[in-house]
Amino acid sequence: MIAHKDNSNNARYGMVVDIDRCTGCGACMIACAVENNVPPAAPTANERTGITPMRVIRYEHAGGTAFVPMMCQQCEDETPCAAVCPQNAVELDPATGIVGQIPQRCLGCRYCMAACPYHARYFNWGDPTWPDGLEKTLNPSVAPRMRGVVEKCNFCHGRWHEAKELAVANGKTGPVEYTPACVEACPSRAITFGDLNNSATSVNELAREKGSFRLLDSIGTAPKVYYRSRRDWVRAASGNASGTAEGAHRG
């Protein structure tokens, strides 16, 4: 079951993405880039050299078209990227369940990129630069990453830090509530975020409902990003043996 590691002192932040609601507008991608100080892509950038921690993938099928927002899936068990990193630059935070990337430790070997089954990691091929004046709009809560390191989605950890600091200032302890930029920006409300350990949250309820599934759930990494669809062909493309919601509750 999804709450198998319930702990009142720890959260397990996760997402549920309703593919049937996603229109492929890309608002989540823009919001992610702005929030996390991802610089404008170079004119020569392509799918290999660009940085898109949140990427909406268009999937064509005889049954229709689906748009699948793809980000780090926050693998919980045998996290592939963490297992291969020689620098301990990847850490699974037990207090949040978030897989963090520490650029100061990263040596740029890109083993983690090869290990990620979701292709959700990106390499900085150049120093971050912005057009004149645009650097004044950068988010002060997020440090830009340098050339030669890997980065990925971290559930807007800068926002988590801000929420945690506010909670501490108000004398509150335990998990905090906050909203990642992609969730806030989605006009169709296709993304739900919250604490999977908390049975009272919408994300916990949606992850349990029929029609929810995890991508490549059969490989046993226990991702904390769930997807939903009423369309059989969408669920069948998830990479699970059954392609059904039951795959979401293993582990």
Categorize the per-residue pLDDT at 8 as very low, low, confident or very high, splitting at 50, 70 and 90: low
What would the mean pLDDT of 127-136 be, rounded to a whole number?
Answer: 91
Least confident of 26-35, 43-52, 182-191: 43-52
Average pLDDT, stretch 205-224?
A: 95
Domains (range + CATH), the chain: 13-249 (3.30.70.20)
Whether pTM exceeds 0.75: yes
Task: Quick: pLDDT tens for 157-206.
Answer: 999 999 999 999 999 988 999 999 999 999 999 999 999 999 999 999 99
Position 251 pLDDT exceeds 90? no
Task: Find out whether 141 and 161 touch, Cβ atoms under 8 Å.
Answer: yes
Contact by Cβ (8 Å): 214, 247? yes
Amino acid making up residue 238: S
Q: Whole-angstrom Cα distance, residue 199 to residue 93?
A: 21
Q: What is the mean pLDDT of the chain?
A: 91
Nearest one of 91, 71, 78, 29 to 155, comparing CA atoms: 71
Residues 6+ apart with CB under 8 A from 232: 63, 243
Token look-up 């699974």 returns 92
* Structure confidence at residue 246 (pLDDT): 38
Tokens of 226: 């769930």
The end-to-end CA distance of the chain, in Å, is 7
**Confidence tier at 249 by pLDDT (50, 70, 90):** very low
pLDDT higher than threshold 60 for residue 100: yes
Judged against a pLDDT cut of 50, whether residue 14 lies above it is answered with: yes
CB 241 within 8 A of CB 247: yes
